């Protein structure tokens, strides 16, 4: 019979888990911060982990910040960090294009400034960011000029997403050799007070629907953020734990990379959801069951002070 999962992480079990790992991966929003506020106790936990000689990394699906911007935010919130500890989808998308796809040619980018900056830093020529309103009628839209050097379409969060951009993306993607990447497929960005705005996944689905193609996804639950991290650092998955607030991204990625997983309840997913997956016979649901859960990562502090 399989070992029980979805256990509360406290007392001797927490001490044991922390002793059995040397690397901890944290999602950001809903885990170490919420919007512009650090989760209470997060800074103490991260400091105690570093003092204990643990390596700490941050894996985030949000494409609206560069590596440097994330490092600056971590420092601003007292969570301390070097750029080399951050693996966000803007940085990792650029890395994918340069190292994995070895792209020759330009990118048509549906995305914001941070993505544009990371592509630029990786030496990848691109066009597309900023407003692109529709003009004229349907025949003008279909005749929109396409750059013959574009070899990839990348979709990330873009507050200027428009019908014109969708039309151009379709134009490029009609060539089956044109690469199609998405930073992530999160459906909503939760905001303070229970509000939410549409996430990148909505834009990705629109382009996929128009192009009759599926994007390759960089962000969690895809393994690529972890693979980026592993390509720059010596990581043993058996001695690594992924801490996240979402079952369908953080925990699923941890599971498929062979990591230990901890769900924290300060963010998106609930314990009820995790328990219902645990009692399911469906393998896809069972791969979203965390090994452990905590109310907040602050709960790890006693184990670090033991």
- Catalytic amino acids? 27, 29
Q: How far apart are CA 157 and CA 203, in angstroms?
A: 8
* Binding map of Mg ion across residues 222-261, x = CB under 5 A, - = no contact: -----------------------x----------------
Of all residues in the shown chain, the one whose CB is closest to Mg ion is: 30
Question: Between 86 and 207, whose beta carbon lies closer to Mg ion?
Answer: 86
Asked if 158 touches Mg ion (CB under 5 A), the answer is no
Contact 255, 237 (CB under 8 A): no
Q: Which two tokens stand for residue 53?
A: 């000689």
Question: Between 208 and 248, whose beta carbon lies closer to Mg ion?
Answer: 248
Contact 269, 295 (CB under 8 A): no
Asked if 27 touches Mg ion (CB under 5 A), the answer is yes
Terminal Cα-to-Cα distance of the chain (whole angstroms): 32
Question: Between 29 and 158, whose beta carbon lies closer to Mg ion?
Answer: 29
Say how many residues touch Mg ion, by CB under 5 A.
4
Q: How far apart are CA 8 and CA 269, in angstroms?
A: 15
Asked if 208 touches Mg ion (CB under 5 A), the answer is no
Q: How far apart are CA 180 and CA 154, in angstroms?
A: 6
Question: Between 31 and 71, whose beta carbon lies closer to Mg ion?
Answer: 31
Chosen residue from 29, 118, 158, 299 binding Mg ion by CB under 5 A:
29
Q: How far apart are CA 182 and CA 90, in angstroms?
A: 10
Question: Between 31 and 150, whose beta carbon lies closer to Mg ion?
Answer: 31
Chosen residue from 25, 30, 32, 39 binding Mg ion by CB under 5 A:
30
Task: Report the nearest approach of Mg ion to the CB of residue 242 (Å).
Answer: 12
Task: Report the nearest approach of Mg ion to the CB of residue 191 (Å).
Answer: 13
Task: Report the nearest approach of Mg ion to the CB of residue 14 (Å).
Answer: 21
Task: Report the nearest approach of Mg ion to the CB of residue 31 (Å).
Answer: 6
Q: How far apart are CA 27 and CA 277, in angstroms?
A: 21
Task: Report the nearest approach of Mg ion to the CB of residue 29 (Å).
Answer: 4
> Please, which of residues 66-105 interact with Mg ion by CB under 5 A?
none
Task: Report the nearest approach of Mg ion to the CB of residue 210 (Å).
Answer: 29
Name the site residues for Mg ion (rule: CB under 5 A). Answer: 27, 29-30, 245
């Amino acid at each position: 019979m399989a070992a029980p999962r979805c256990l509360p992480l406290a007392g001797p079990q927490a001490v044991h888990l922390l002793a059995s790992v040397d690397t901890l991966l944290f999602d950001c929003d809903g885990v170490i911060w919420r919007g512009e506020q650090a989760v209470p106790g997060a800074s103490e936990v991260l400091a105690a982990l570093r003092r204990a000689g643990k390596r700490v990394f941050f894996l985030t699906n949000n494409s609206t910040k560069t590596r440097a911007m994330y490092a600056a935010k971590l420092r601003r919130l007292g969570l301390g960090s070097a750029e080399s500890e951050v693996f966000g989808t803007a940085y990792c998308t650029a890395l994918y294009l340069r190292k994995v796809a070895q792209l020759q040619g330009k990118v048509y980018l549906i995305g914001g400034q941070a993505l544009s900056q990371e592509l630029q830093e990786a030496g990848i020529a691109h066009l597309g960011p900023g407003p692109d309103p529709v003009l004229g009628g349907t025949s003008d839209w279909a005749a929109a000029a396409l750059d013959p050097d574009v070899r990839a379409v990348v979709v990330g969060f873009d507050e200027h997403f428009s019908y014109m951009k969708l039309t151009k993306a379709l134009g490029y993607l009609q060539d089956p050799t044109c690469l199609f990447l998405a930073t992530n497929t999160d459906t909503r960005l939760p905001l303070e007070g229970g509000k939410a705005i549409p996430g990148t996944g909505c834009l990705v689905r629109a382009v996929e629907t128009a192009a009759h193609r599926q994007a390759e996804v960089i962000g969690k639950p895809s393994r690529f953020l972890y693979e980026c991290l592993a390509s720059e650092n010596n990581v043993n998955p058996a001695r690594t734990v992924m801490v996240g607030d979402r079952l369908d991204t953080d925990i699923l990625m941890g599971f498929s990379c062979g990591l230990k997983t901890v769900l924290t309840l300060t963010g998106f997913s609930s314990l009820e959801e995790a328990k219902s997956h645990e009692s399911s016979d469906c393998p896809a649901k069972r791969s979203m069951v965390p090994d452990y859960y905590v109310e907040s990562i602050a709960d790890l502090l006693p184990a670090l002070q033991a």
